[in-house]
Amino acid sequence: MVPLRLLTPAGPLWEGLCYTQIGGLTVATGITLLLVPVLYTIFVLDLKIVQWKVVYGEGEAHAAEAH
């Protein structure tokens, strides 16, 4: 989006759209990289609201019992 904004002679409509898209992508990236791991840590590791259950298939259950 930055090259589109810098290299394209844009009118007033395109300029606002470029800034809006740049801001939206920046916020979405921040949420994905920061907020999602933090919420995962809180809900799964700290509060134990979500619990993972291990389900073995037939062959895997026998192999696990042998160890």
Cα(29)–Cα(12) distance, rounded to whole angstroms?
Answer: 26
Compare 38 and 1 and report the one with higher pLDDT.
38
Query: How many residues appear in the chain?
Result: 67
pLDDT value, residue 55 = 76
Tokens of 47: 């509060």
pLDDT value, residue 26 = 93
For residue range 15-42, list pLDDT tens digits in order: 788 888 889 999 999 999 999 999 989 8
Q: How confident is the model at residue 43 (pLDDT cuts 50, 70, 90)?
A: confident
Cα(34)–Cα(22) distance, rounded to whole angstroms?
Answer: 18
CB 3 within 8 A of CB 18: no
Cα(22)–Cα(2) distance, rounded to whole angstroms?
Answer: 8
Whether the pTM exceeds 0.75: the reply is no
